[in-house]
Amino acid sequence: MISWIFIFRLLQISNFFSAFSYNISTCYYKISEEFHREGDVVIGAFFPLHTFYSLKKMQHSTIPYYYLDNVIQYNFKNYQYILALQFAIEEINGNPNLLPNISLGFDFYNVRFTGKYILDITFNWLTALGERNYIPNYNCKKRNFTAALTGTSWITSAQIGTLLQLFKFPQINFGPYDLLLSDRGQYSSLYQISPKDTSLSLAIVSLMVHFRWSWIGLILPNDHKGNKILSDFREEMERNGICLAFVKMTSDTWTSYVAKFWENMDETNVTIIYGDIDSLEGIMRNIEQRLLTWNIWIMNIEHHVIDRADYFILDSFHGSLIFKHSYRENFEFTKFIQTVNPNKYPEDVYLPKLWYLFFKCSFSDTNCHVLGNCQTNASLEVFPSHIFDVAMNAESTSIYNGVYAVAHSLHEMRLQQLQMQPYENPHGMVFFPWQLNSFLKDIEVKDKRSLDWRQTIDTEYDILNIWNMPKGLGLKVKIGSFSANAPQGQQLSLSEQMIQWPAIFSEIPQSVCSESCGPGFRKVTLEGKAICCYKCTPCADNEISNETDVDKCVKCPERHYANKEKSNCFQKSVSFLAYEDPLGMAVASIALCLSALTAFVIGIFVKHRDTPIVKANNRALSYILLITLTFCFLCSLNFIGKPTTASCILQQTTFAVAFTMALGTVLAKAITVVLAFKISFPGRMVRWLMISRGPNYIIPISTLIQLIICGIWMATSPPFIDQDAHTEYGHILILCNKGSAVAFHSVLGYLCFMALGSYAMAFLSRNLPDTFNESKFLSFSMLVFFCVWVTFLPVYHSTKGKVMVAMEVFSILASSTALLVFIFGPKCYIILLRPDKNSFNHIRKKTPSRKKKFPKI
């Protein structure tokens, strides 16, 4: 069905344009461009319907626009203004309750947009001479003039108003509201029937915000209205984070639109065009001719530009949006248009031209009246809407309301006259036009809009979408509305599914300077660029952004972490070196195995306690050392599991005390060996030390010193439970804080000092007889012990979290294992695998002859 409608429209358009394929009759130029309708009271109407051009000018112009013959350029859409005027006058004349026994008439004058001609036709109307010879303050035909209807350009109204103001002559402007014309000091008798555009910038910017359009072009007239709306747009756009890609100010003459004007026009997909029909005539024609189909034009007027060369299916304005004040549709006006024809209104000079052009009627050679050869069903309603629209537009509605305002004012004046002089001139009406001003100020027209310039406001806008694909369809579909009085967030109402965008877009168009920054990114403004031009940078660690185009990322709370996409914060899970973890399980298993191994070695030494190798290596010290090593292995289990205050304290104290006892035992063994074999002639003190086993006192003394250090540590700054929310991603590590770092390093330093002393003593006895080679293994075990803990310090401080705890446990196990393996490994080897070496005979064979007897160690 839609396809058939398009085909019908195209055929209809081609039929209309075929009207230009034959020679135009000379009657077409002879018919006057002004006409009159008689009445007791006359309204002056000054509307722009066509403009004259010289042949010389046309030779240097581009493709003609509107409907253009050799010298006349027509805009037949504006003919609706005349019909709205006639419709209102016929309604009033037919209403017995409004101006009874008084008829309204009108004088129509075409406006050519030149100051000299505008003043010329205004003088002609005021004097009613019918010629171009004027006599100021003299009315030749003695007609009752009431008011002048002017528009659509504020310039036209201002020029006419300057003249009419001299006589305080009422003037009603039906064009767009203009602040300049509201100056009561300069135009005290001028009334604007159209609403203001105070909410237009808010309405259009609300649409930008809805579709997330932030990079917008703006085309404005280069006058006071353009400067005012530019200020309004900038204020609203800055408030909503929208930037202007460019601002183009149009000139009064279309010839100034050189190529430079169109530069950078493709930077954005959305361009706002603001102004009145007359100021934008040239720019709209250029857009039509250039076929700018990639842009969405947002306008406050309906464009009236139709090229004769209609050979494109595409249209520059297809998919564009129009913001218009809301008006109640007048169905009676549509019915009225259906009845309009040249026979019904013989005084109308434009109807014959329309019928001649589009219905192929013929003029008479004598009086240029329309004759036969016309279609019987010829009517304006069959015209495509881009040529003539039967629906009353905003300007026609204002004309209709303006005529009614004049009629109501006259009616009130007439009633006042009859009350004052009831028997004087009951059928006529004598007044001066300036007397009408006091009534016009207080009159309200049919839609309750006051003519008082102080009360003229706007609140409601209809949003229309242009459907002109294929070109010639010319539909304007209401797709939404805007109400400034609605609650915030409910002002704009849209039916997006009804919108037809330009053919180049397959979905809702985007108009941005930079692509949106998605979740996990933030905007960084580029230096020297608009705020809408930016680059996207990822959020910092533990920061998120879960919306698009954010300026700052939000830091996650302390107990939360950002996901890898940095779009959400999640609760961190508690983590510690648990027995269930592979690392904790491995460490615990190793500690238990080594403890069991130490217990096994203790069992071996107890079982073979009477053998020479056990006796020769001081059984008591060996038992103490093995038991201490068992505690060293088991104390590493304090580091595994969820930390508590008690476990944190026990970790360091048991570790320090157990290792101190182990190192003290090793030191006692080393000193005993040195005293026994390095002193050739021992004195009384040395002999007393050997007999009383004095070196064994090193164990409690060294342990007591370590206990004092640990006591000071626990009293001043003991270890405590701490949390680390930064080391491990997505986890909160619970660990033991050492408290005083000085005390912790003092404990380690004391252990290293004892290990160094044990190593020195063992090193001195390295050349003992082979049978007593324990000193070599003591020195080597101390060397390994010392290396482990010296290496531990830098590695410990370079790791974090569970790895740091595991590193300390590993150092405990490694150093303890070194003592177990290097000191007791060779002895167990001899006891278990080489029992033949564990005998006194073997000892005597291996021992060199000496005069002294080896003492018992």
> What are the average pLDDT values for consecutive 10-residue runs of the chain, which has 857 residues?
43 43 58 83 89 46 40 74 94 92 91 76 73 59 81 86 89 88 88 86 94 92 88 92 90 62 85 85 80 87 59 78 85 90 85 82 70 76 79 88 92 85 63 87 62 58 87 83 89 92 87 89 87 90 88 88 88 84 88 92 87 79 88 88 87 86 83 63 52 70 89 89 79 84 87 82 65 66 79 77 82 87 85 77 53 41
- Nearest Cα to Cα of residue 726 among 578, 546, 541: 541
Question: Interior CA angle at 760 toward 755 and 763, to 5°?
Answer: 120
- Nearest Cα to Cα of residue 65 among 252, 251, 285: 285
Asked if the domains 2-45+78-196+327-440 and 593-844 are classified in one and the same CATH topology, the answer is no
Sequence-distant (≥ 6) Cβ neighbours of residue 254 within 8 angstroms: 281, 282, 283, 285, 286
Q: What type of residue is 662?
A: A
The answer to whether 709 and 660 are in contact (CB under 8 A) is no
Quote the pLDDT of residue 133.
Answer: 60
Q: Is the C-alpha dihedral spanning 372, 373, 375, 381 positive or negative?
A: negative
Quote the pLDDT of residue 55.
Answer: 43
- Nearest Cα to Cα of residue 97 among 393, 571, 414, 343: 414
- Nearest Cα to Cα of residue 401 among 93, 162, 149: 149
Q: Is the C-alpha dihedral spanning 258, 263, 266, 272 positive or negative?
A: negative
Quote the pLDDT of residue 779.
Answer: 76
CB atoms within 10 A of CB 179: 14
Cα–Cα distance for residue pair 174/399, rounded to 1 Å = 6
**CATH of segment(s) 593-844:** 1.20.1070.10
Q: Which spans in 20-93 are helix H?
A: 27-30, 55-59, 79-93
Cα–Cα distance for residue pair 781/669, rounded to 1 Å = 13
- Nearest Cα to Cα of residue 398 among 332, 471, 324: 324
Q: Is the C-alpha dihedral spanning 61, 64, 65, 69 positive or negative?
A: positive
Tell me how far apart the terminal alpha carbons of the chain are, to the nearest angstrom.
Answer: 118
* DSSP per-residue codes, 136-159: TT--TT--EEEEEEE-S-HHHHHH
The answer to whether 196 and 401 are in contact (CB under 8 A) is no
Residue 320 per-residue DSSP state: -
Partners of 110 in the beta sheet? 47
Partners of 43 in the beta sheet? 106
- Nearest Cα to Cα of residue 275 among 416, 152, 380: 152
Quote the pLDDT of residue 66.
Answer: 40
Cα–Cα distance for residue pair 559/837, rounded to 1 Å = 65
Sequence-distant (≥ 6) Cβ neighbours of residue 672 within 8 angstroms: 618, 621, 690, 695, 857
Per CATH, domain 200-326+459-498 is 1.20.1540.10: no
Quote the pLDDT of residue 204.
Answer: 94
* DSSP per-residue codes, 517-531: --TTEEEEEPTTS-T
Tokens 């070496």, residue located: 837
Q: Where are the domains of the chain?
A: 2-45+78-196+327-440, 200-326+459-498, 521-571, 593-844
Q: Is the C-alpha dihedral spanning 671, 677, 678, 679 positive or negative?
A: positive
Quote the pLDDT of residue 299.
Answer: 92
Burial class (CB in 10 A: 0-12, 13-18, 19+), 715: exposed
β-pair type (296-299, 270-273): parallel
Residue 274 per-residue DSSP state: -
* DSSP per-residue codes, 662-679: HHHHHHHHHHHHHHHHS-
At 760-813, the pLDDT tens digits run 877 776 665 545 456 677 777 777 877 887 787 787 777 777 788 888 888 888
Burial class (CB in 10 A: 0-12, 13-18, 19+), 203: buried
Quote the pLDDT of residue 15.
Answer: 46
Per-position b or e across 22-57, b if 16+ CB within 10 A of its CB: eeeeebbeeeebbbbbebbbbbbbbbbbbbebeeee
Partners of 575 in the beta sheet? 733
* Cα atoms in the Cβ-side hemisphere of radius 13 Å centred on 428: 6
Tokens of 65: 């626009």
Tokens of 487: 């609650």
Per CATH, domain 2-45+78-196+327-440 is 3.40.50.300: no
At 453-503, the pLDDT tens digits run 444 556 789 999 988 877 767 788 999 999 988 888 899 999 999 999 988
Quote the pLDDT of residue 464.
Answer: 93
The answer to whether 303 and 278 are in contact (CB under 8 A) is no
Helices and strands (H and E) in the chain: how many: 23, 26
The answer to whether 322 and 389 are in contact (CB under 8 A) is no
Sequence-distant (≥ 6) Cβ neighbours of residue 814 within 8 angstroms: 784, 788
